Amino acid sequence: MAHSDRRVVITGMGLISPLGSSCDELWTALSNGRSGIDLIQRLPASELPSDVGGEATQFTGHIDDFGPLEKLTKRNIKKGLKLMCREIQMGVAASQLALSDAGLAAGGYDPDRIGTMFGSDYIVTEPVEFAAGIANCLKETGHFEFEKWAEQGLTQVEPLWLLKYLPNMPASHVAIYNDLRGPSNSITVREASANLAVAEALTSIRRGVADIMVAGATGSRIQPLRTINISLQEQLADRNKAPANGDPSKACRPFDKDRTGTVLGEGAGIVVLEDKEHAEKRDARILGEVVGYCSSSVSNRKRVADYQTAFLNVIVGALERAGMANTEIGHIHAHGLGGIRCDREEAIAINQVFGDSVPVAAAKSYMGNLGAGSGVVETISSVLAINSGQMFDSLNCESLDPACPVNMADASTSPGQSVLNLNITPQGQASAIIVAAI
């Protein structure tokens, strides 16, 4: 635990999302109630249990997607793109956008006092990496001959393929391209990763080992093998059931009594965290202050998640660390998955602490589940709401489930002066952070 009195503020934000690749695009979509969920284009979705998703369609992986870059940095990133899968590219791009937003460029900071904390999902190799090798090992009948793999198959695989998919590579790339020599770590705890990365970055600054940290996460659930894996494990939304009635934008329905499951998504979110005094000395724009955090993992002996207890633990713990009463939270940004049991248990945990007095937002209704990328993109959404003094609608909660006793936010709701962000994995690992206006 950190014991320093240093205050840690947000001075930059960057994202890649189904609602765009800038804070302005994100806020425009949210404030206009425009969903980023549509029919999946990058996969043969007709063969999947669910054919809808929140794809970051604006992100192509072209160097122009990485924001304004100095000539050397641009050249280095462009050269390194071939060693990044899409998830890693999105994470690097969001980081570069956040650094630019914070007004930080090479030479403008002490490289030994700035680091990066990066979260991700487990990143799965795309089948195309092995296609040529597998083809070399097939009999005329189409059966795979494993005994041929070492000499005739593996030799057809690109020697550096593994570097494209290692979950520590987003942090490595960002640190190398920007000469960040301070603390660095990679966290792979699925949906909980983003908040955990922010929490660890916060404590690094409070401990005095860094003045600035680049923190956040990247994730994708729209990828050939990853999508199949999730389809076998989780309940995916069915757009063909009422009340969605075939409309992809109505498929994700957090806390609604007619919700049918989660929606696949992809994206990355990054915040630049900075010691408040350090930020003030360089006249940085301050967007908010991270004041609390907590983590808790709860499951039974059969490894079935206890969402309610995990959520309750992180809510109470984050409030305690922040030194805040439950009445001081302006709004809660829920995990809001759209899953039957998870939504119910999250709502009950929220109600146990706050009753139904605090408004609850759910940006997944616009984007689906971005995996590890969700937490910071959602936090950025809430920070934008707090700074604008205007809340956004949570889509598709047309008839609140009586088993979900929460007060759903809408455009007429005040966002207040603080947000509690919640996320959880299917295994019961929950995380929370609190960000307050300053």
346 and 372 within one domain: yes
In angstroms, rounded to a whole number, what is the distance separating the alpha carbons of residues 421 and 280?
26
347 and 402 within one domain: yes
pLDDT of residue 3: 53
Torsion of CA 324, 326, 331, 335, to 10 degrees: 100
284 and 153 within one domain: no
pLDDT of residue 45: 82
3 inside domain: no
In angstroms, rounded to a whole number, what is the distance separating the alpha carbons of residues 335 and 307?
11
pLDDT of residue 223: 92
Q: What values do phi and psi take at 122, rounded to 5?
A: -70, 130
356 inside domain: yes
Residue 76, number of CB atoms within 10 A of its CB: 15
Residue located via tokens 């249990």: 49
342 and 311 within one domain: yes
Q: Are 19 and 377 in contact (CB under 8 A)?
A: no
68 and 17 within one domain: yes
324 and 424 within one domain: yes
pTM (predicted TM-score): 0.96
258 and 139 within one domain: no
Q: What values do phi and psi take at 50, rounded to 5?
A: -135, 135
Give 72: exposed, middle or buried? Use CB within 10 Å, 0-12, 13-18, 19+: exposed
Question: Total domain count for the chain?
Answer: 2
pLDDT tens-place values along the chain, 438 residues long: 455 789 999 999 999 999 999 999 999 999 999 999 999 999 988 888 899 999 999 999 999 999 999 999 999 999 999 999 999 999 999 999 999 999 999 889 999 999 999 999 989 999 999 999 999 999 999 999 999 999 999 999 999 999 999 999 999 999 999 999 999 999 999 999 999 999 999 999 999 999 999 999 999 999 989 999 898 889 999 999 999 999 999 999 999 999 999 999 999 999 999 999 999 999 999 999 999 999 999 999 999 999 999 999 999 999 999 999 999 999 999 999 999 999 999 999 999 999 999 999 999 999 999 999 999 999 999 999 999 999 999 999 999 999 999 999 999 999 999 999 999 999 999 999 999 999
Torsion of CA 264, 392, 95, 43, to 10 degrees: 20
306 inside domain: yes
Residue 251, number of CB atoms within 10 A of its CB: 31
216 and 75 within one domain: yes
pLDDT of residue 4: 74
137 and 120 within one domain: no
Q: Whole domain around residue 134: which residue ranges?
A: 130-157
In angstroms, rounded to a whole number, what is the distance separating the alpha carbons of residues 376 and 114?
19
432 and 410 within one domain: yes
In angstroms, rounded to a whole number, what is the distance separating the alpha carbons of residues 374 and 354?
23
136 and 120 within one domain: no
Q: What values do phi and psi take at 103, rounded to 5?
A: 75, 30
Amino acid identity of 314?
V
19 and 147 within one domain: no
Under DSSP, the state recorded for 109 is S
**Tokens at 241, concatenated:** 């059931």
Q: Are 205 and 274 in contact (CB under 8 A)?
A: yes
4 inside domain: no
Residues 6+ apart with CB under 8 A from 154: 133
Q: What is the CATH number of the domain that holds 266?
A: 3.40.47.10
321 inside domain: yes
Residue located via tokens 């160097």: 63
pLDDT of residue 5: 86
Count of H helices and E strands in the chain? Answer: 12, 13
